[in-house]
Amino acid sequence: MEKYTTFEHDVLIIGAGGAGLRAAIEASAAGVSVGVVCRSLLGKAHTVMAEGGVAAALANVDTRDGWQTHFADTMRGGQYLNDWRMAELHAKEAPERVRELEAWGAIFDRTKDGRILQRNFGGHKYPRLAHVGDRTGLEMIRTLQDHGIHQGIDFHQEITIISLLKENDRIAGALGYDREKGRFRLYKSKAVIIATGGMGKIYKITSNSWDCTGGGTSLAYHAGAKLIDMEFIQFHPTGMVWPPSVRGLLITEGVRGEGGVLKNSEGRRFMFDDVPDLYKHQTSDNEEEGWRYTQGDKDAKRPPELLTRDHVARCIYREVKEGRGTPHGGAYLDIAWIKSKISNAEVHIKKKLPSMYHQFKELAGIDITKEPMEVGPTTHYIMGGIRVDADTQMTDVEGLFAAGECAAGLHGANRLGGNSLSDLLVFGKRAGEFAAQYAKEHSQMQISEEQVANLTGLAEKPFARYDQENPENPFQIQSDLQEMMQDLVGIIRSEKGLNEALESINKLKDRAVNAGIGGNREYNPGWHTTMELKHMLTIAESITRSAIERNESRGGHYRSDYTEKSEALGQMNICVWKTESGEMQVEKIPKKEIRNDLREIIEQMK
Ligand code: FAD
C-alpha cells in the first residue's frame, strides 16, 4: 500500500476560517486550482465564534467617519508599533470588503433607512462595527462558504497539516494526515497560504476553541518564516468566570457598546478611576455622558468601559487583586441597569445580545436582563505572528503567504475589537490574489521522497514510544504548559517569572519528546496532541523570549518590573526566527519609517 496519497493544487490554503475562505475565493477567481485544508469540519473554524462585528469606516451611522479616522484609531490602539502600510490598506479597503460580503448575501442588521447598521466598540472613535446581532462571525462564514462553494475550490476537511515542504528555499507543498483514518496526505503546491488562526489554547483560560494552538504559525517558523510582535497577547477583559467548566468563554464587547457597565463588589464604576492620558480627551468623565454616547449622541464622549481591552483587563485584574472582586474572582458587568433608562429594556437586550442572553441563561443560570454577569480577563487574541509583506502577504519564505490572526503587523501592540474580521477580509483577499499570481509565475518544485519519509517516520514515533516504560502523557504536558503560561506569561509579567517560564518550557520540551500514545490511528486525539506539542511549545517559547526582550509595558504586554513605556522600544518590533542550527533567535528591529502624509493624519487626529 502507498504510504501516502498525493494531491496537487496551484495554491494550497491551510485554514477555512474567514481569512482562508476569503483567500480561496480570490485565488480561485484568478483562474488557478485551489485546495483548502482544515483540521475541523467546514463551518467550524474559530471565526464562527466572532460576535460583535466587523470594523469598516462605512460612515452609515456617523457621517464624520472615514478611512483616515479608522487608520488613526488602529495606529493609536496599536501604540504606533503597527505596520503603517497594513493599517492604511486595511482602513481603505475594509468598507469595500464589507459591501462585497453584503452583495454575496450577508444579512447585516440595518439602520432605519435600510443601510448596514454600525455599533460602538472600544477604541473606535465612531460607531463602526457592522454586525449581525452578536453572531457576526457565523454569518460571515456562512456567506463566504455559500459564495465559495460555487468557485470550484477543493475542500479537504479534518486534515491536519504537520509540516510544510520546501525545496531550494521555495515552498513546494505540505504534509498532513486525515484525522478520520490517520493516513498521510502529501499536498504539492506552487504557493501555500497559512490561515490557521490564533493560539489561545496554550493558556489555561481562553475564549479560543480547541483548534487555536498556534500550529500554523509554528509550521511557518520551522519552514524559515520570521515572526514578529509575539509578546503582544490580548487578554479580553470580559470572559465568563463561573461556572468553572466555561471559564474564559467570551462575553462580547457589544454588551458594553450597548450600555453595559463594570462595577466592583462595592458597587463602584471603577473604570472612571484610571483613564490613560492618550485617551483622556476622548473619554467621558461622568456616567450620564457615557450613557448618551452608547445611545448615539454624537456630541458625547465614550464611557471608560470602552477604553482599549488591555487597559480594561488590567483594571479588572487590579480590582480583584485588591479585594474588590466578585465571589468567583471577577468584576460585575451590568446591562440590566438600562431598565432605568429605557422602557423596553428586556426586549431590547434580547434582540441586541441574543447569544449572550442564552449563554448566561443556559450555562450559568443567570438572566442578564435582570442580574449582572461576573466577568474576568481571558486570553483572546495574538497581535503577533508571521511577518508578511504588507501589500502581498508573502512571508520571508518564497511562495509562502499568511493571512488572518496567524499573520502580524496590522494591530501592533493591541488590536481594536472588530479589526480582526476586517483583517481577514482585506488581507485574505490580498493573500489569495498574490498567491495566485505567484503560482502562475512559478512551476511546481519537486519534493524528495526522502524528506517525506523522514517526516512520516517521525510522526509515527509516538506509537512506538507507548510500548516503552513510562511514556509521557501528551495531555498532561499540554495541561502543564497551559497552567504555566497562565501564571508566568499572562496578563502581568516580570523578568523573574519569564525566565522561570523559559526553564519550564525547556523541561516540557524534554518531556514532549518522550510522549507516547496507544490505540490506533483513527480519530486519535492523543496522537494529534502529541504532534501538536512541538508547535505549542514553539509558540510559548517565542512569546516568552519576546516578552523578556521588551523591557517596558505597552499594549498587550505588561511588565510589573518595567511599568512605563520606553521611548526607545516604541521604535522597535521584536522579531523571532530559527537559525541554521535550530536555535530560536530573538532580535529588536527598527520599525518601518512612516510615510509623511500618514504621519500628518495621525498628528491631526491626536
Ligand atoms: P480561524 O477562524 O481560527 O480558522 C483557522 C483555520 O485553520 C481552521 O479552519 C482550522 O481548522 C485550521 N487549522 C489550524 N491549524 C491547522 C493545521 N495544522 N492543519 C490544518 N488546518 C488547520 N474579531 C472581530 O473582529 N470581531 C469580533 O466580533 C470578534 N469576536 C470574537 C469572539 C470570540 C469568542 C473570539 C474567540 C474571537 C473573536 N474575534 C473577533 C477574533 C476573530 O474571531 C479571530 O481573530 C478570527 O476569526 C480568526 O480567523 P482566521 O481566519 O485567522 O482563523
Q: Could you report the per-residue pLDDT of 459-506, keeping only the tens digit for each?
A: 999 998 888 878 999 999 999 999 999 999 999 999 999 999 999 999
Of the candidate ranges 168-182, 189-203, 308-322, 409-423, the one whose mean pLDDT is the lowest: 308-322
Query: What number of residues does the chain have?
Result: 606
Asked: is 458-571 a CATH 3.40.50.2000 domain? The reply is no
Eight-class DSSP state of 1 = -
Residue 554 has pLDDT above 50, yes or no: yes
Which three three-digit cell numbers place residue 582? 535550530
State mean pLDDT over 258-265.
96
185 close to 438: Cβ distance less than 8 angstroms: no
Architecture of the structural domain at 4-232+383-441: 3-Layer(bba) Sandwich (3.50)
Residue 89 has pLDDT above 80, yes or no: yes
Residue nearest to atom 38 of ligand 1 (CA): 50
Residue 523 has pLDDT above 70, yes or no: yes
| 255: number of Cβ within 10 Å | 26
**What is the predicted pLDDT for the residue at 462?**
93
Ligand 1 test: best mutation among 42, 165, 196, most atoms within 8 Å of CB?
196
Ligand 1 centroid to 415 CA: how many Å? 14
User: What gap in Å lies between CA 78 and CA 276, rounded to an integer?
Assistant: 14
Residue nearest to atom 35 of ligand 1 (CA): 50
User: What gap in Å lies between CA 240 and CA 356, rounded to an integer?
Assistant: 11
**What is the predicted pLDDT for the residue at 1?**
46
| 413: number of Cβ within 10 Å | 27
184-194 and 170-178 beta bridge pairing: antiparallel
Q: Give the ipTM of the model, two decimals please.
A: 0.99
170-178 and 385-386 beta bridge pairing: unpaired
For the full predicted model, state whether its pTM sits above 0.90: yes
Fold held by 243-377:
Flavocytochrome C3; Chain A, domain 1 (3.90.700)
Q: Cβ neighbours of residue 583 under 8 Å, at least 6 residues apart?
A: none
Ligand 1 centroid to 581 CA: how many Å? 32
Pocket of ligand 1 (CB under 6 A): 14-20, 37-40, 45-47, 49-54, 136-137, 159-161, 195-198, 207-208, 211-212, 215-216, 250, 380-381, 404-406, 417-421, 424
Ligand 1 centroid to 17 CA: how many Å? 6
User: Which atom of ligand 1 is nearest to 200's Cα?
Assistant: 36
Q: For all residues of the chain together, what is the average pLDDT?
A: 95
Q: What pLDDT, in 10s, does the model give residues 23-68? A: 999 999 999 999 999 999 999 999 999 988 999 999 999 999 999 9
Which three three-digit cell numbers place residue 90? 486595511
User: What gap in Å lies between CA 134 and CA 353, rounded to an integer?
Assistant: 6
Question: Where does the pLDDT of residue 2 fall: very low under 50, low under 70, confident under 90, or very high at 90 and above?
Answer: low
> Which has the closest alpha carbon to 128: 409, 417, 424?
417
Reduce the DSSP state of residue 373 to 3 states and report it.
Answer: strand
Q: What pLDDT, in 10s, does the model give residues 424-433? A: 999 999 999 9
* 227 vs 148: which has the higher pLDDT: 227
Q: How far apart are the first and last CA of the chain?
A: 66
- Which string of DSSP letters, residue by residue, matches 518-558? -S-STT-HHHHHHHHHHHHHHHHHHHHHHHHH--S-BTTB-
Residue nearest to atom 21 of ligand 1 (CA): 38
State mean pLDDT over 231-260.
93
Q: Indicate the domain borders of the chain.
A: 4-232+383-441, 243-377, 458-571
Ligand 1 test: best mutation among 38, 352, 375, most atoms within 8 Å of CB?
38
Of the candidate ranges 88-97, 229-238, 457-466, 481-490, the one whose mean pLDDT is the lowest: 457-466
